[in-house]
Structure 1
Amino acid sequence: MSLHAVSFQQISRILDLTDALGINREWVEIPLSPESPGIVRKLPNGKLEIIVDADQPFDTWLGTLEQQIRRVQAA
């Protein structure tokens, strides 16, 4: 079952993870529309864009998010 919109609860869980990584919430953008595949990337303005994957179960995807963020930050 595909995810059609990112919920407030899901956004809160993503922000909890970015908080734990020391990333200021003002530097994180989470679009409300998930995509397939989801992606984490650094925007030209320096902000981190986190697009939730529409096809993976949210908890499975969230389990990979820290690694995705670290990979983008290292690039």
Structure 2
Amino acid sequence: MSDAVSFQQINKILELTDELEINREWVEIPLGAESPGVVRKLSNGKLEIVVDADEPFEDWLGSLESKIREVFDVDA
């Protein structure tokens, strides 16, 4: 996978956060992928989603919802 996060990938992540009713203003997605990827709540309360550079994007995306629910207040 490239170290750059594509516009299409960002859109897929935002579609998921939309489904979880997380305001897009509270989501930060860095434009560079890292290894390992990470989902964390920042000190300002925002949700940071860093795409994993090594795992295939679609596989990583499939596990993203559970990672978000672990760290961010989302109703089940």
Q: Same fold (TM over 0.5)?
A: yes
| TM-score (normalised: structure 1) | 0.94
Q: List alignment gaps of at least 5 residues for structure 2.
A: none
Match of 1:47 in 2: 46
Superposed CA deviations along residues 32-58 of structure 1, whole A, max 9, x for unmatched, are: 000000000000000000000000000
| TM-score (normalised: structure 2) | 0.93
Match of 1:22 in 2: 21
Among the aligned pairs, what percent are the same residue? 70
Helix, strand or coil: the match of 1:67?
A: helix
**For residues 1-75 of structure 1, what are the structure 2 equivalents within 5 Å?**
2-73=1-72
Superposed CA deviations along residues 6-64 of structure 1, whole A, max 9, x for unmatched, are: 00000000000000000000000000000000000000000000000000000000000
For the residues of structure 2 that align with 1:8 and 1:73, how far apart are their CA atoms? 23
Number of residue pairs matched by the alignment? 73
Aligned-residue Cα RMSD (Å) equals 0.8
Considering fraction of residues, name the structure with more helix: 1
Helix, strand or coil: the match of 1:50?
A: strand
For the residues of structure 2 that align with 1:4 and 1:40, how far apart are their CA atoms? 17
